[in-house]
Each structure stands twice: as C-alpha cells, then as structure tokens.
Amino acid sequence: MTNPDNPQKENNPTNPAATEADGVGALPHGRPLQTDFNDGRDYPRLGSFSFRRGKLTDNQEAVWEKNWPQLGKVLSAELIDIDEWFGRSAPNGTIVEIGSGTGTSTAAMAPLEQDTNVVAVELYKAGHAKLLGSVVREGISNVRLIRGDGVEVLQRMFAPQSLTGVRIYFPDPWPKARHHKRRIIQSGTLHLIAERLMPGGILHVATDHADYAEWIDELVEVEPQLEYLGWPEDQSEIPVLTDRQIITKFEGKGLDKNHVIKEYLWRKK
C-alpha cells in the first residue's frame, strides 16, 4: 500500500525469484524497500547488498521456527498494534533499537526494563537468531524482533507519536566519503524519529568512530522537534535511559583501539 504523500518503491514480495529463502522470517533478495520521502531532507540510501549467511545451528533453527511467528515480524507496510503484539499496555511504553546485531546488550538490558516494551530491529537472521535464543532461554517477555532496514521499519510499521524511545548503538560508520550517504544519522532520519516519538520521548545514539561523531555533531540541532541534551550529568532525569550492561563486539573493538565513545541524547519537544 502506497501513501500518496510518500510514494514508495516496492519490491514484489510475491516473486519467488526475489525471496531470500522459503521459510519463516525470510526477506526479499536485492535492493531493500526504500521510501521516496521527497521532503528535502537527507535519508540514508542503500544500494544492493548481499545477506550475511551466518549458519544457524540445528538448535537455533528449531528455536527460530517455533518462536519467530509469535516474537518476530518482517518489514511490511502494516502498522503494528503494539499492545496486541506484546499482550499488554506497557507502563513505560515502547523503545525501538535500530541495528541490534546479536542482541547481547538488548538481552542484558531487558530484565532491567520489565515495564518497557523493546523492539529490536536488525536485517541479518544470524544476529536475530542469537537474540531470539536468549529471549527464549532466559524467559525474556518484553522483547520482540523485526527483520528489516531501520528507517523503513520506522516509516512503515510504527504510527506517529507511538514510541517513548529510539536507540541506535554503534551504527555502521561507513568511513569512506563516497559511502557517507549510507549513514543512518541524517537530517531525514532525525525527522522521522521525531515524528515517531511521543512528546518527551528520547533518542539515544552512541558511536566510537571519531569522524562519525563529527558528522553527528553537525546535525544535533537540525531537527526542530528534537531538543538536544548532550550527555547530562544527572542521567536519572531521563526515565527511558538504561545503562548498557554488556560491551558489544563493535564497542569492544573500539575500546581495544582506544576509541572514545560519544553518547548523544535528544528529547522530543
């Protein structure tokens, strides 16, 4: 379904040749779905990509087949009924984590956020399979998963003012200048996130890449709906902020190289 205010380029999901594979939680091959926003802002542009084929163990496959239909969704144009999906109206609302990777930090934080719904968004099945395994094994009830590009998931699957928070931890820095257009932090992405956040909602971004930090520094005031908070000394004033409990693989690599981790917070006005 195409929004006339935002014409969309669609892959044909019914074309058998375009599917990643038959089975539960499969994604289309080739160029991912991309909305033509046409609003004068900059949005990340992705070219064709190949799927990371990390092989799942037999146990991971079994857990995936059994639990994905209840706990996972694939990018689509259907708005999510959050309360129905989680089976509750969460006291602290819903946070979307874009680029959750293998979900080590997501799974570690979830028990500290029992009153919050957490939706982990990731393209790659192997990463989601590890998170799904942790969710099932540890009985984590407040995490759900979506396979797809984060910008398109926000655009297509969440209603305006439906989220209390968005997290983007250590996004791909796309270090080559010709690839900077692929960086997720852009003026358009910040606008889209602001539209999806409810008033008072928080956007939390962390990076250990110095050039990407400089890039973000140039954009902190670009979206008028977002109040830039920097990194306040009294973090208790940010109700949806939870300390990351485990150093992720990418964070660890940065620390091994003595990279400085820079954190950014914005609040929806």
The answer to whether 115 is a known catalytic residue is no
Residue 122 in marked binding region = yes
Torsion of CA 181, 184, 189, 195, to 10 degrees: 170
Residue 97 in marked binding region = yes
Residue 253 in marked binding region = no
The Cα 52–Cα 49 span in angstroms is 9
Residue 217 in marked binding region = no
Q: Which of 83, 115, 172, 243 is catalytic?
A: 172
Residue 22 in marked binding region = no
Residue 149 in marked binding region = yes
The Cα 143–Cα 136 span in angstroms is 10
Torsion of CA 19, 25, 27, 33, to 10 degrees: 130
Residue 172 in marked binding region = yes
Which helix (H) or strand (E) is 165 found in, with range? strand 163-169
Residue 211 in marked binding region = no
Burial of 215 by CB count in 10 Å (0-12 exposed, 13-18 middle, 19+ buried)?
middle
The Cα 157–Cα 166 span in angstroms is 14
Binding site membership for S-adenosyl-L-methionine: which residues?
97, 122, 149, 172
Binding site: residue ranges?
97, 122, 149, 172, 176, 208, 248-251
Residues tagged active-site: 172
